[in-house]
Amino acid sequence: MSSSIILRRVCQGALLLAIAGSLGGCGLVALPFRATSAVVKVVPVAGDVVAAPFDATAEVID
C-alpha cells in the first residue's frame, strides 16, 4: 500500500474517534425524544402520562 493511502486511513480513523468521543452523552441524540415529549405534553389530560417514557429515555441518554 502506498504511504498516502495509509496516512489517509489513519487520519480517517482519528477523525472517527474524535467524533465518537465528542458525541458521548450528547444531547443531540436525546433531541428527538425531548421534542416528541414537548409535543405530546400539549395534549390535555393524557399528555403528561404519555410524555413520561420519552422524558425518561432522554434522561438516560444524557
pLDDT in tens, 8-21: 888 888 887 777 66
- The helix or strand, by DSSP H or E, that contains position 7, with its residue range, turns out to be helix 3-22
C-alpha 28: how far from chain center: 4
Rounded Cα distance, 50 and 45, in Å: 10
Question: Percentage of the chain with pLDDT > 70?
Answer: 87
The pLDDT of residue 1 is 58
Contact call for residues 57 and 33 (beta carbons, < 8 A) = yes
Rounded Cα distance, 52 and 35, in Å: 13
The pLDDT of residue 5 is 82
